[in-house]
Amino acid sequence: MVILTPLSQQFTTGFVPLYPAASFTDSRARMEYHHTSEMNGVVADYHSMCNEPERNGLCREEKHSEDAADSNNLCHIEKAYSTILSELGEDVDREGLLRTPLRAAKAMQFLTKGYKETTQDILNDAIFDEDHEEMVIVKDIELFSLCEHHLVPFYGKAHIAYLPNKKVVGLSKLARIVEIYSRRLQVQERLTKQIASAISEALEPAGVAVVIEAAHMCMVMRGVQKMNASTVTSVMLGRFYDDPKARKEFLTLTLKK
């Protein structure tokens, strides 16, 4: 079920060298000197680290000990952002943008870190045998994600309920499941279903219910530009789907203003 309530492309790009050799003027060299990073007492230029295999160790240190594959990916994403800025008409050599491609690359890796996480990783030691069959609700779980159609944010809150079947999970783990799937390129409908399915598979409960309320910047900042529109999606599994009373109780407890 999807409810749109009015209340008041991906892109692909080839990788090109970040700084062509011809662009290294004396002033450019001086500017690069002032934007280097100090690691283990050694001052090293970031871009040199990414482009010189013999300095991969320092490159990994600069990226907080990420593995070699992540470091390589970060360099490629950085170069792609540099290309985008250039194609938008910006001067990537001006002082304010010198490290913007790197910052944007790191930010994008963080915003999509859910691709490297699984529910098994976080739930391993957090499922307990418990003789409890009444509804468990965690509501108002804040979430932030990226619309996969325009790569702009949507954000809001998730409400989760499950009916235990002799098993309960640590309450914070429900919020972590939301985090895993929201930190990916998403559409809200799929995000809602993924959260519900993950809980159902892990706990095998009598029922799972998930409702997400979110505002989408692709509707606010561009396109129809409806500032106060919000989107509500829901997924009901098991007894929440079959039993109107259970569903009504959940909706009443979570959506009541």
Please write the tens of the pLDDT for every residue from 14-23. 433 443 444 4
Q: Which pLDDT belongs to residue 75?
A: 94
Choosing from 142, 149, 201, 204, the catalytic residue is 149
Q: Could you tell me which residues are beta bridge partners of residue 232?
A: 3, 213
Q: Which two tokens stand for residue 49?
A: 């680290």
| pLDDT tens per residue, range 174-187 | 999 999 999 999 99
Chain mean pLDDT for the chain = 81
| φ, ψ dihedrals at 229, nearest 5° | -80, 140
Q: Which pLDDT belongs to residue 18?
A: 41
Q: Which pLDDT belongs to residue 50?
A: 52
Element (H, E) at 207: strand 207-216
Q: Which pLDDT belongs to residue 45?
A: 46
Least confident of 15-29, 73-87, 90-104: 15-29
The residue ranking higher by pLDDT, 232 or 33, is 232
What is the share, in percent, of the chain residues with pLDDT greater than 70?
Answer: 74
Architecture of the domain defined by 121-255:
2-Layer Sandwich (3.30)
Average pLDDT over residues 43-67: 50
The residues of the chain that CATH labels 1.10.286.10 are 66-115
Asked whether the predicted pLDDT for residue 218 surpasses 60, the reply is yes
Q: Which pLDDT belongs to residue 105?
A: 96
The residue ranking higher by pLDDT, 130 or 42, is 130
| φ, ψ dihedrals at 204, nearest 5° | 50, 50
| pLDDT tens per residue, range 187-203 | 999 999 999 999 999 99
Look at residues 143, 140, 211, 217 and name the one whose alpha carbon lies nearest to residue 177. 143
Query: For the domain 66-115, what is the CATH code?
Result: 1.10.286.10
Active-site residue flag, 64: no
Q: Could you tell me which residues are beta bridge partners of residue 161?
A: 137, 209
Cα 78 to Cα 233: distance, rounded to the nearest angstrom: 35
Q: Band the pLDDT of 24: cuts 50, 70, 90.
A: very low
The residues of the chain that CATH labels 3.30.1130.10 are 121-255
Q: Band the pLDDT of 113: cuts 50, 70, 90.
A: very high
pTM confidence score: 0.73
Average pLDDT over residues 121-140: 92
Q: At what angle do helices 68-87 and 100-111 cross, to 10 degrees?
A: 120
Cα 221 to Cα 179: distance, rounded to the nearest angstrom: 24
Q: Band the pLDDT of 61: cuts 50, 70, 90.
A: low
Asked whether the predicted pLDDT for residue 25 surpasses 50, the reply is no
Active-site residue flag, 147: yes
Q: Which pLDDT belongs to residue 11?
A: 37
Q: Could you tell me which residues are beta bridge partners of residue 145?
A: 154
Active-site residue flag, 188: yes
69 and 56 Cβ atoms separated by less than 8 Å:
no
Q: Which pLDDT belongs to residue 69?
A: 78
Choosing from 87, 130, 148, 204, the catalytic residue is 148
Q: Which residues contact 162 (CB under 8 A, 6 or more apart)?
A: 135, 136, 199, 203, 205, 207, 208, 209
226 and 167 Cβ atoms separated by less than 8 Å:
no
Cα 32 to Cα 95: distance, rounded to the nearest angstrom: 9
Cα 227 to Cα 233: distance, rounded to the nearest angstrom: 19
Q: Coil, helix or strand for 155?
A: strand
Active-site residue flag, 159: no
Active-site residue flag, 59: no
Beta strand ranges found along 108-206 (DSSP E) = 127-129, 136-147, 153-163, 167-169, 185-186
Q: At what angle do helices 188-203 and 171-182 cross, to 10 degrees?
A: 140
Q: Coil, helix or strand for 229?
A: strand
Choosing from 150, 159, 179, 186, the catalytic residue is 150
Asked whether the predicted pLDDT for residue 55 surpasses 70, the reply is no
The residue ranking higher by pLDDT, 213 or 48, is 213
